[in-house]
Structure 1
Amino acid sequence: MREFIKKRLSLAITLVMFVFVVLVATFLVIGGSVALLQHLDIISLSGPPAPNTRGNNGKHLFPLFILFSLCVLLGTSLTAFFSKKALNPIRRVIDATHKVAGGDFSVKVEIKGIGELEELSASFNKMTQELSSIETLRSDFVNNFSHEFKTPIVSVRGFAKLLKDNNLTEEERQEYLDIIITESERLAALSNNVLTLSKYENLKIVPDKAPFRLDEQIRRTIVLMDPKWSAKDITVNVELDKVIYRGNEDLTQHIWLNLLDNAIKFSYRGGLINITLVKVNDEIRFVIQDGGPGMDSHSQIHIFDKFYQADTSHTVKGYGLGLPLVKRIVELCGGDVYVQSNTGKGSIFTVVLPC
């Protein structure tokens, strides 16, 4: 608070000093001019003119009028000159803004001296850094989406052409058909995820709210995912308090499905997943912890961005849509979701929902 007040005062003091300098300069010029005119006996400040000098009133008033006009002109000129200097930092920000509007996100602004302008400079640089990151993410999004969508289509087309060969054995024909079915299901899953995320992004209010057992829903989700975690010999430890939650059951189901699926995908074979659900005061807290490879700080910042995948090698199957969907649904429910992770030490996802 003190730092904020100090910065506010610094700008106020700067403006006061600016006006003070202009006034002092104007006063000195006016005073010097009056003294010079009086010394040359052009004007007299000693008293009113004698009765026999009435005709000279014009002589006294005209120089004063000229002096007044010069004062106005001088004050305006000095103000314009110093204003131009004072506004140079703002012009630099405006020029930088035009460059950003043109797509140059590498531009930086360094302004020193005045608290508010330093803060503006820091905020502007932070904005350009975020915009640069978003532009990179957008480019990655296009590349990833094109890769995820194009690969199964090419695969389906290729194996469909092979099926036209009459010399194939029945075993080869069945193998190619299975590949086509798998790739078609992959395309369907990708399309379904995109449509689901788009649907909930445009949703403003959670419909059809009703009370239900949240702990039972999570148990059913774990059982539903049994084939996946059993296939990797993963142990799932579960500690769920009895929690009755009022919301949309189908909507919240997506949260647990995606978080558990994500934990299974990144867990090592024979690993461990801990799941807890507790109610503390007016909050419901769900925590899922895996023992996978974890994430660096950059991945944690972008993990909830659409189509972002920390694993750029695509060794782990995924589309980068599960966690953005989780975040959007949690936000619709009035809650929050965040991640704690260290490279090589697994990840902890925490969902907080209001009671």
Structure 2
Amino acid sequence: MKSLKEIFPKKISLAFSLVALVFFVMVLSILSAGLFAFLLNWLEVIDLNQSDPKRGIYVLLYISIFLGVVIAALLSRRSVKPIRDMMKATNKVAKGDFSVEVKGSYVFELDTLAASFNKMVKELQGIETLRADFVRNFSHEFKTPIVSISGFAKLLKEGSLSEKEKQEYLNSIIQESERLVDLSTSILNLSKVENIEIISEKTIYRLDEQVRLAILMLEPKWSAKNLHMDVELEDDIDILGAKNLIQQIWLNLLDNAIKHTDSDGIVKIGLWTNGRKVTFRLEDNGCGMNDQTLSRIYDKFYQGDTSHSMTGNGLGLTIVKRIVDLCGGTIDVQSELGKGTVFTIILPLEKH
């Protein structure tokens, strides 16, 4: 027996399938009723050759109705099977089972619905995985500095420490406290940008001055490592955008470059316009990244370079990517292990 896909090599519409089903039931009912009546007449159970033709017609009509109901009931179970499967799959998803998958149908609308449902389940599965990873990583990131602070505080409470040890433990407590503050700030910033769909508050401001200000704000960090900042910024670049959000792009990228560049290294910063767009380029000669790290740099809490893990929380680039997407821009990264990294960001230059 041929399958429905062989009978209907191309998808048909739901309306056409319903009309075809009704027509098929009618024809099959009439033919079956005629054959059944002929069989009964042959067995002399009924007599269709009687003088009153109406009686024979009534017999055929009753048989047709009975067989029509039976045939319709059998075919309807097959017709609504995709919908029943969808209902069962929906109940499983509601209970947290994201491994379900519904099959397609020869009906175009039902096939499209099945494809959309499967896509939704995969996205929900990805979101659930991200949520679980986020909770696990978030708990770990908060627990580590709290345990450190608690441990150092207990050592200080004992009182049998030298002045040098006391200062060392106090500095560690201050460092871990600042790390908690930075993590809390990053979490709040990430939560804010993830809940924004459209940027409504925009102002016109000097983008080149904003980048210069970001460099100055991080001056204590790059000065402490004696980094050479090679800055080439095009002057008088006016942009219409969310000033506070865009500032986080430069601060996070610059802080990331400083963190991963060794002492006496070079950080190159460029900013220029190209038509209705502005390009920001940041290059360092730091540790670089391998292919695995490159594929996951925008994941929450991911830190490919474990040697610098104590100076970051793995949320900076996640925030940067989200803000760039909100601004309608693009971000590209090129990196080679041991040779450095280049970030290139292109933003639309909206003006009045």
TM-score tier after normalising by the smaller chain length: 0.7 to 0.9
1:241 paired residue number: 234
Q: Contact (CA 8 Å) 2:293, 2:304: kept in 1 or not? A: no
Match for residue 255 of structure 2 among 231, 246, 261: 261
2:48 paired residue number: 42
**Matched residue SS, 1:95:** helix
2:84 paired residue number: 91
Q: Does 1:74 align with 2:74?
A: no
1:42 and 1:8, CA in 2 relative to 1: closer, same or farther beyond 3 A?
closer
> C-alpha displacement at 1:218, in angstroms?
0.8
Q: Contact (CA 8 Å) 2:335, 2:342: kept in 1 or not? A: yes
1:293 paired residue number: 289
2:272 paired residue number: 278
Partners of 2:127 and 2:95 in 1: how far apart?
15
Q: Which runs of 5+ in 2 are unaligned?
A: 1-8
Partners of 1:145 and 1:225 in 2: how far apart?
26
Aligned residues: 333
Q: Give the structure-2-normalised TM-score.
A: 0.75
Q: Contact (CA 8 Å) 1:258, 1:322: kept in 2 or not? A: yes
> C-alpha displacement at 1:190, in angstroms?
1.6
Q: Which amino acid letter does the alignment assign opposite residue 221 of structure 2?
A: K
Partners of 1:162 and 1:201 in 2: how far apart?
41
1:221 paired residue number: 214
Match for residue 28 of structure 1 among 28, 31, 36: 31
State how 1:1-355 maps to structure 2 within 5 Å. Answer: 8-9=11-12, 18-32=21-35, 42=48, 60-111=53-104, 120-201=113-194, 209-229=202-222, 236-242=229-235, 243-267=237-261, 273-289=267-283, 292-296=288-292, 299-300=295-296, 303-304=297-298, 307-311=300-304, 313=306, 315-316=308-309, 317-330=311-324, 334-341=327-334, 344=337, 346=341, 348-355=343-350
Q: Contact (CA 8 Å) 1:275, 1:289: kept in 2 or not? A: yes
**Matched residue SS, 1:193:** helix
Q: Contact (CA 8 Å) 1:330, 1:353: kept in 2 or not? A: no
Q: Give the structure-1-normalised TM-score.
A: 0.75
**Matched residue SS, 1:319:** coil
Q: Contact (CA 8 Å) 2:11, 2:106: kept in 1 or not? A: no
**Matched residue SS, 2:205:** strand
Partners of 1:207 and 1:112 in 2: how far apart?
43
Q: Contact (CA 8 Å) 1:209, 1:247: kept in 2 or not? A: yes
Q: Contact (CA 8 Å) 2:260, 2:308: kept in 1 or not? A: no
> C-alpha displacement at 1:330, in angstroms?
4.1
> C-alpha displacement at 1:214, in angstroms?
0.2
Q: Contact (CA 8 Å) 1:304, 1:324: kept in 2 or not? A: yes
Q: Which amino acid letter does the alignment assign opposite residue 103 of structure 1?
A: G
1:28 and 1:298, CA in 2 relative to 1: closer, same or farther beyond 3 A?
farther
Deviates more, 1:257-266 or 1:110-119: 110-119
- Give the % identical residues: 44
**Matched residue SS, 1:42:** coil
Alignment RMSD: 3.8
Deviates more, 1:23-32 or 1:116-125: 116-125
1:206-250 per-residue CA deviation (whole Å, 9 max, x = no partner) reads: 576432210121122123334434555655554433410134433
Q: Which runs of 5+ in 1 are unaligned?
A: 1-5, 45-55
> C-alpha displacement at 1:13, in angstroms?
6.5
